[in-house]
Amino acid sequence: MTVKNETMELKNYVNGKWVDSSALECLDVINPATGETIAKVPVSTKDDVDQAVQAAKNAFQSWRNVPVPKRARILFKYHTLLTDHHEELARLIVQENGKAYKEAYGEVQRGIECVEFASGAPSLMMGETLSGIAEDIDSEMFRYPLGVVGGITPFNFPMMVPLWMFPLAVACGNTFVLKPSERTPILANKLVELFTLAGAPHGVLNVVHGAHDVVNGLIEHPDVAAISFVGSQPVAKYVYEKSASKGKRVQALSGAKNHHIVMPDADTEKAVANIISSTFGSAGQRCMACSAVVVVGENNKFVEALKKKADELVMGSGMEEDVLLTPVIRKEHREKVLGYIEKGLEEGAVLLRDGRKETEEMEKGNFLGATIFDHVSPDMTIAKEELFAPVLSLLRTSDLDGGLQFIRQSRFGNGATIYTKDASAVRKFREEADAGMLGINVGVPATMAFFPFSGWKDSFYGDLHVNGKDGVNFYTKKKMITSRFDY
Ligand code: NAD
């Protein structure tokens, strides 16, 4: 498919062809569980970006005029192909990202759901009309695509995040240049291969591999009308500001610190099961992962049950049975997290469970055992920053107001959850929690493709979120027609 030789050097996909990048440098793509190099990814240049944008610009001239139902039919076919390749796609994710097969299988499903949503383009792209805005005068609104859209994606969801973007963008009549994460680039080539098989014309979807130069090439390019970005907070802010300064439409989804409030009346067993899976699944490398638990009241029963469950967690490579705790993406990231753990100790947090010890025998992969700090205060570094790792902070408070205050204090506002049976606590939480995606007794309240993925504060830069009606509005511009009929 995408390979040049035994070492599997990935190619770019431009104008319907696999092409060599003009890059002089390649990066290793490493299996996080084994440390093996499984592919090499070119660090493409701005020239490569220019070629891909030109191909997308040319393709846009005809693609914009393809009737919307015809565009939707390609997405129906794509849906079938993705479904047929569900297991293969999940295995590829495990190989390059390291997450457990079950998680990867679920990710593929979430990606397929985005294609399902985009297949509704004929309904989604409908405009609005009003006859009689004045005597003998009517108004109509039509939607049009923007042109070439650039998509820049993170390592942690190599399938779902690209599928948040390009299916809806192209269904709306845009053409697309995707820059996948250089740490998990393999799946993107499979996605574009299947999209071509589904009947997408040349140039509608292009892939340029690489790092900063490709990102800068896209956000500075005068022929790129809009940028969809998902990644860490500093990069999201940079991409947002730079793209906006160039007059582009931009949505930049960013980092997170998601608080889960455990009320005294919560079902301990269920809350623990949800928190364990949310915190330690995918090694905590999810933007909707629980990373801070607010324990309301002297609930030592909950804390003990949480620690006991963490002790029972199975750690290993993603293809092993019953594994929940998988490696983090790179050795350097593991080192950074170890630094955060030291910082937590220095700043006075109590290490309830030290996951560092369990990993001594697992030298090859980037493993880190489940780590839990207790008595964390909101001004500590581990409470403020996104660690993106299997490290959990427990914060203590006497009431719900205290928990809501912790959420307000966080610069991030992606998600938050409450565990309780108390309807008034639920309502107060719903009204006052300062985050865009809330869970009521739900561990990972990530939204489905037909709703916006709705982070707040420093978890999102822009106006229109990905997915749902926001996604359609982001990828289309509106034209108003006012007609007089007494002429
Ligand atoms: P990252 O910011 O390192 O990389 C994201 C993309 O930006 C990659 O394609 C990368 O090549 C590029 N990039 C990185 N540094 C750059 C720079 N200095 N200049 C230009 N481009 C650069 O993010 P990651 O580590 O791959 O992904 C994890 C992050 O993504 C976490 O912070 C997570 O919370 C966030 N994320 C957020 C959401 C959300 O919906 N809010 C979803 C998934 C992931």
* H or E element at residue 427: helix 423-432
Instruction: Indicate whether residue 282 lines ligand 1 (CB < 6 A).
Output: no
The domain made up of 12-255+450-482 is a member of CATH 3.40.605.10: yes
User: Residue 19: pLDDT above 90?
Assistant: yes
pLDDT band, residue 2 (cuts 50/70/90)? very low
Cβ atoms of 59 and 197 within 8 Å: the answer is no
DSSP H or E run through 302: helix 300-311
Beta carbon of 235 within 6 Å of any ligand 1 atom = yes
The two structure tokens encoding residue 276: 């364990």
Percent of the chain with pLDDT over 70: 98
* Residue among 95, 89, 88, 90 nearest 34 (CA): 95
Over residues 235-278, the pLDDT tens digits come to 999 999 999 999 999 999 999 999 999 999 999 999 999 999 99
pLDDT for the residue 364: 85
**Phi then psi dihedrals of residue 191, to 5 deg:** -60, -40
Centroid of ligand 1 to alpha carbon of 227 (angstroms): 14
User: Does ligand 1 lie within 6 Å of residue 160's CB atom?
Assistant: no
Cα 465 to Cα 8, 242, 327, 384, 461: the distances in Å are 35, 18, 30, 24, 9
Reported CATH class of domain 259-434? alpha beta
Query: Region 31-38: what's the mean pLDDT?
Result: 96
pLDDT digits (tens, 9 = 90+) for 282-299: 999 999 999 999 999 999
**pLDDT band at residue 5, thresholds of 50, 70 and 90?**
very low
What is the pLDDT at residue 213?
98
Q: What is the pLDDT of residue 6?
A: 57
Cα distances (Å, whole numbers) of residue 329 to 76, 249, 318? 33, 31, 12
Average pLDDT, the chain: 97
Q: What is the DSSP letter of 358?
A: G
Alpha helix positions (H), 85-203: 86-97, 101-118, 121-124, 160-171, 186-197
Q: What is the pLDDT of residue 391?
A: 98
- Letter for the amino acid at 416? A
Mean pLDDT of 156-172: 98
Digit-coded pLDDT (tens) for 346-378:
999 999 999 998 876 676 899 999 999 999 999
460 sits in the region (left: phi over 0; alpha: psi -120 to 50; else beta) called: beta
**Is the distance from CB of 475 to CB of 168 less than 8 angstroms?**
yes
Annotated active-site positions, please? 287
pLDDT one-digit tens code per residue, 181-237? 999 999 999 999 999 999 999 999 999 999 999 999 999 999 999 999 999 999 999
Domains in the chain: boundaries: 12-255+450-482, 259-434
Q: Is 128 annotated as a binding residue?
A: no
What separation in angstroms does the CA of 145 have from each of 77, 170, 215, 252, 428? 22, 9, 22, 19, 41
Please tell me the distance from the alpha carbon of residue 35 to that of residue 12, in angstroms, as a whole number.
24
CA 255 to ligand 1 center in whole angstroms: 8
The pLDDT confidence band at residue 1, using thresholds 50, 70 and 90, is: very low
